[in-house]
Amino acid sequence: MPDKIRMTTSVASVLREFLEAPTEHQYGFDLMQRCGLSSGSLYPILARLEKAEWIVGRFEEIDPSKEGRRPRKYYTLTAAGARAAVCELDLLSERFKPPVWDFGSKPATGGAW
């Protein structure tokens, strides 16, 4: 059972990105660009999600000498994390849904009808 996460709009936008492609590898810099977050906001969020076991971080399996670069760390959603993320995003969208106004049976058109 993953730990609870304090939901903010930034956390929600990161989770939304993860849910777009739950099995795909997500890298820090790409997430930063897609979510429109700074690295200073993104990495604490990733750390929090990883600690709560909503996501898991792994390293690319490459041969650095062959590829000429260091392996990057990527993140993927855990199954429990995916379930919790869907739940939390549902709650959040419910909370921020605009209210439905009731204008009565006639539409309020200023008497044009």
Partner 1 sequence: MSVLGATLLVSGSLTALVMGKVLVSLLSKEVEGRIDHAGYTILRLARRRLPADLRESLHDDEWLPEMDDILERHKDRPITRLVWPLRFSMPLLLWGAARTARIVRATPALSTRLKVYLRSSTAIVRVIKRIAGATPREGDAFGESIEKSSRARILQSAELSVGVDLPERPDLVLTDANGEEHHIFVKIPLAQTGSGRETALTLWAKHNDRSSP
Please give the residue ranges that form the binding site for partner 1 (CB under 8 A). Answer: 27-29, 32, 38-44, 47-48, 50-51, 53, 56-59, 69-73
Classified as helix, coil or strand, 91 is helix
Nearest residue (CB) to partner 1, 8 versus 93: 8
Report the nearest approach of partner 1 to the CB of residue 20 (Å): 20
**What is the rounded distance in angstroms from the CA atom of residue 32 to the CA atom of residue 45?**
11
Specify the residue for token string 């730990």. 3
Report the nearest approach of partner 1 to the CB of residue 62 (Å): 10
Residue 96 carries which side chain, given as an amino acid letter?
A: F
**What is the rounded distance in angstroms from the CA atom of residue 38 to the CA atom of residue 87?**
26
Report the nearest approach of partner 1 to the CB of residue 106 (Å): 53
